[in-house]
Amino acid sequence: MGNLTCRGERGNVDAIERLSDYKSISRYIRWIPQAVARRHFPIHPIIGILEDPRPWAQTYLSEIDSDLAKLNGAANLDHVAIRMENQEQFFDERAALRAAADYKGKGWQIDFIIEATTKRPDFQAQPPKAASIPCVFEVKHIAGKEAVDSLFQDIRAITSPYVVDGYVGYLQLANQARHIALEVGAEVEKLARTSAMPTADKPFRKKILDCEFKIYLRQSGKVGPTIVGLHWSKRETFQQTASRLSRILDGAREQLSSYIPDAVNIVLLDVERATLHDDEVHDVLYSTQLPGLFTLHQYECVTAVKFVSHVIPPTTQLFSNQNNPHVKNGFLNTLSL
């Protein structure tokens, strides 16, 4: 990103000082001090959260710390902490930690799966009453408004004389937000480097995926944190939802089928303030008109999809695949998934 400047605008909390309050985060996510020292755009999510003085950040950090403490002793936990350094993977790995900690709290043995040249599932779990067949989980994090918040914070952290006004389409994934922020940042850098002066009437326009941005000089012309206005489309047709969810589930299916095809293979959808509901997941899986994914031969290796929504009130739903052998023989019902 060249000479693009990035600053901790939101706040007055020292990341390293705050990190000392969270013993498990300090113990396992050991790369944070180095990431703070080499701070660059876009800011790593964990740094932004550590510097954020608002109460939600304290809650978020406390939950990560608690989950890491629960998972103490889990095989390959250090590898997950290392993968979290990748900004595009952070929220997905965070979701995997949350899911694994939930099962660890119920007495399950957790083994995180080491990455290979091809993408692998997140973790393998063994129930308290040892089963001969492994349970393998692939966790997919759907961010919703959290992704929009991340995009806002990343663009806001850029020092420039510009305003970025954007219409954000059906943005659901955190790694999409990171990709968009990098592209917007690159355009802001180009404009600043050439001392460009686009106006509100004649702005510089940029389209990325289904998002549209207008960039123009602020009235004062002063350099400071970039002024950001984002308009988020919360509505999409069922066909759009189905298409987006099918792509996510297809990726999970490929990871599970290439690892242990005969395992109890679970796709866990971790939904954070997103516009995805359990009835939509039901229709995508079971509909005879789409057709539903669980009616397709290639999905026989997927035992179930678990939907976990962190909105209020929280929602958890297990959708079993009647064409999967572990469902047919009743084995799935013996597990407390």
Tell me the angle at which helices 90-105 and 55-70 cross, rounded to the nearest 10 degrees: 60
Is pLDDT at 5 greater than 60 in this prediction? no
Which of 76-85, 133-142, 164-173, 257-266 shows the lowest per-residue confidence on average (mean pLDDT)? 164-173
Report, as an integer, the average pLDDT of 249-271: 96
Is pLDDT at 187 greater than 50 in this prediction? yes
Band of the pLDDT at 172, cuts 50, 70, 90? Answer: low
Hey, where are the domains in the chain?
A: 146-232
- Per-residue pLDDT of 284-336, as tens digits, reads 999 988 889 999 999 999 999 999 998 777 889 999 999 999 999 999 999 98
Is pLDDT at 179 greater than 60 in this prediction? yes
Report, as an integer, the average pLDDT of 62-73: 97
Q: Tell me the C-alpha distance between 61 and 131, whole Å.
A: 34
Q: Which tops the pLDDT comparison, 149 or 110?
A: 110
Question: How far is CA 158 from each of CA 1, 89, 185, rounded to the nearest angstrom?
Answer: 11, 22, 7
**What pLDDT score does 4 carry?**
46
Report, as an integer, the average pLDDT of 37-59: 84
Is pLDDT at 9 greater than 80 in this prediction? no
Q: Which tops the pLDDT comparison, 275 or 311?
A: 311
